[in-house]
A and B are shown apart, each in its own frame.
Chain A
């Protein structure tokens, strides 16, 4: 198999090979194998994630998205209130 790469990529590959003290074609083979293994792993992990979502939905472990958004907004309001209360308390302590 012959693979054509752009002049820019070839230049980077040769620089990296020189830095590592390796032949450019051996480095290209190594990097390509790593990239393909990474892509395969990502694919399989994504499939597993989709399966978990489907399983949860089948078991009723889901809710309307708008309910989740409302929960998040409520949590943020509580957080902001607490932060304001703490800031007021600190200001009062400094003033005392």
Chain B
């Protein structure tokens, strides 16, 4: 009999957030692209807002929807849509039971992707970052 999937329905808890190397590289690439297309200060601001949004995942990761791509995986992959002006980034993550006690305790960031993998327009400068849930 296969092991039961870890429970995701716990009451409020703080999850550890771990970042995979590919996701880290994707954040770095997005930052550099924004810096090139807009400005250093705007890229810094974008990165700060993204960090704040990811940090919020440690409190309420189960409030984010299951990604459509999750159908290809044995365990749910969730997504946070992080919006900056008219451009959206998708943060794809999974909840894991790191210590094996049957309860999820870790948010694992797997992939960070531009909404449509197109270059964001330069007129983004000045827009406020936010996340779309």
- Digit string of A33-54 for contact with B (CB within 8 Å is 1, else 0)? 0000010001101110110111
Knowing A57-B18, A57-B20, A61-B20 are in contact, say whether A50-B109 is a contact too (CB < 8 A): no
Contact residues of A: prevailing secondary structure? helix
Determine if B22 and A53 form an interchain contact, defined as CB atoms under 8 angstroms apart. yes
Residue B54 CB within 8 A of the other chain: yes
Interface assignment of B19: CB less than 8 Å from any CB of chain A: yes
Chain B residues within 8 Å of A66, by CB: 17
B18 contacts across to A, CB distance below 8 A: 57, 62-65
Partner of A50, one of B19, B55, B110, B116: B110
Say whether B68 faces chain A, with CB atoms less than 8 Å apart: yes
Chain B interface category by residue count:
20 to 34
Measured CB to CB, the closest approach of chain A to B50, in angstroms, equals 10
* Interface status of B47 (Cβ within 8 A of chain A): yes
B83 at the binding interface (Cβ < 8 Å):
no
A68 CA to B19 CA in the complex, in Å? 8
Q: Number of A interface residues at 8 Å Cβ cutoff, please give it.
A: 23
A56 near B22 with CB under 8 A, answer: yes
B19 to A64, Cβ gap below 8 A? yes
Contacts of A53 in B (CB 8 A): 20, 22-23, 92, 108-111
Q: Complex: how many Å from CA A64 to CA B109?
A: 10
Check A56/B116 contact, CB under 8 A, given A46-B111, A50-B73.
no
> Once the chains bind, are B17 and A49 in contact (CB under 8 Å)?
no
Q: Say how far B113's CB is from chain A's closest CB, in angstroms.
A: 6
* B92 pairs with A45, CB closer than 8 A: no
Quick check: A50 and B54 within 8 Å, CB to CB? no
CB nearest to B58 among chain A residues: A65
* A65-B109 in contact given A43-B69, A46-B90, A53-B22 (Cβ < 8 Å): yes
Residue numbers of A with Cβ under 8 A of B are 38, 42-43, 45-47, 49-50, 52-54, 56-57, 61-66, 68-69, 72, 76
